């Protein structure tokens, strides 16, 4: 409903919004064997605000990515914003965008998915919420190319993206594990999703694929039943981790350092190079420190940050 204000003679006049905002969380995907289907939303937000301007588009970046050149023709937030408005059949307003992100770029933490979801969510709010979250999910997959990160960014929490026979994808919510903490170890190197995908094999042996399916199922079992001692085995993967590990200096030694410091299991976050460690609460500082030092021995600077789960997905608001 459009806000109103009361006039002296009893008439009511529309109060025109001055700024629209949308927020989308970061995400970690795959979680080892859940390639392109498991996603977990993280409390590292990307926030975008839009104000009308007379003509054209402008973008201002704050936080992560603010040091990079801005190209409105290739910006994912603006592209998604314009995509949904064109889909709706209405005019595309000329706006000034301010994008503030806490998500490290090209680190396997869903920065691209968050940008797309924030742009779609902003546009949907602009036109009065015409589209459902499931419809936003469909368009996000179309723009991103795969569902795992965008599902987590839209719905929050832990999601399983299940492809249907008709080509659609349904996002199934999974219980967020209790009593389990996460630490993200982010090395100061960037890996593009395209480069990471180019390393993947065209096929894997049937026996290896069957084992991966079993471990993916064991992973969801371990998380839902708190059988965390299974995570070391359940996180093992043959689809992508062995190949993407080649882009991460000292991968095996950093993983081993995390395990020795008390982690239940360590794997690559998304396409990398960030590493994701699951552990008991209050062990994060010790595990993160051990993994950062292991990276340092490879002459790679890294930082450890808590991977708090975002139970709430993308949302929008209007400022008057």
How would you classify the pairing of strands 4-6 and 38-52?
unpaired
110 labeled binding residue = yes
Compute the distance between CA of residue 288 and CA of residue 308 in angstroms, rounded to an integer.
14
107 labeled binding residue = yes
276 labeled binding residue = no
113 labeled binding residue = yes
106 labeled binding residue = yes
271 labeled binding residue = no
31 labeled binding residue = no
290 labeled binding residue = no
109 labeled binding residue = yes
Q: Which residues are annotated as a binding site?
A: 104-114
Q: Which residues are annotated as a binding site for ATP?
A: 104-114
């Amino acid at each position: 409903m459009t806000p109103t204000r009361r006039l002296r003679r009893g008439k009511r006049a529309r109060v025109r919004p001055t700024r629209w905002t949308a927020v989308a969380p970061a995400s970690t995907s795959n979680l080892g064997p859940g390639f392109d289907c498991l996603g977990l939303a993280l409390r590292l937000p990307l926030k975008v605000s839009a104000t009308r301007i007379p003509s054209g588009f402008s973008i201002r970046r704050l936080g992560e990515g603010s040091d990079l050149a801005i190209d409105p023709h290739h910006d994912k937030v603006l592209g998604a914003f314009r995509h949904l408005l064109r889909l709706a059949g209405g005019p595309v307003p000329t706006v000034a965008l301010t994008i503030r992100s806490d998500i490290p770029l090209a680190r396997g933490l869903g920065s691209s998915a968050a940008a797309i979801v924030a742009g779609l969510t902003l546009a949907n709010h602009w036109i009065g919420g015409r589209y459902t979250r499931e419809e936003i999910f469909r368009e996000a997959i179309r723009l991103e190319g795969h569902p795992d990160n965008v599902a987590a960014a839209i719905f929050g929490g832990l999601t399983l993206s299940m492809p249907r026979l008709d080509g659609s994808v349904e996002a199934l919510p999974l219980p967020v594990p209790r009593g389990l903490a996460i630490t993200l170890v982010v090395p100061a190197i960037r890996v593009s999703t395209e480069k990471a995908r180019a390393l993947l094999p065209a096929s894997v042996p049937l026996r290896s694929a069957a084992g991966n399916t079993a471990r993916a199922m064991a992973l969801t079992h371990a998380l839902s039943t708190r059988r965390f001692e299974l995570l070391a085995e359940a996180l093992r993967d043959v689809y992508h981790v062995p190949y993407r590990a080649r882009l991460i200096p000292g991968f095996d030694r950093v993983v081993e350092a995390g395990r020795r410091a008390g982690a239940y299991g360590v794997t690559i976050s998304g396409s990398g190079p960030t590493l994701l460690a699951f552990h008991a609460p209050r062990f994060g500082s010790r595990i993160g420190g051990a993994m950062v030092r292991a990276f340092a021995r490879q002459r790679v600077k890294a930082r450890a940050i808590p991977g708090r789960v975002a139970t709430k997905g993308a949302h929008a608001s209007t400022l008057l």
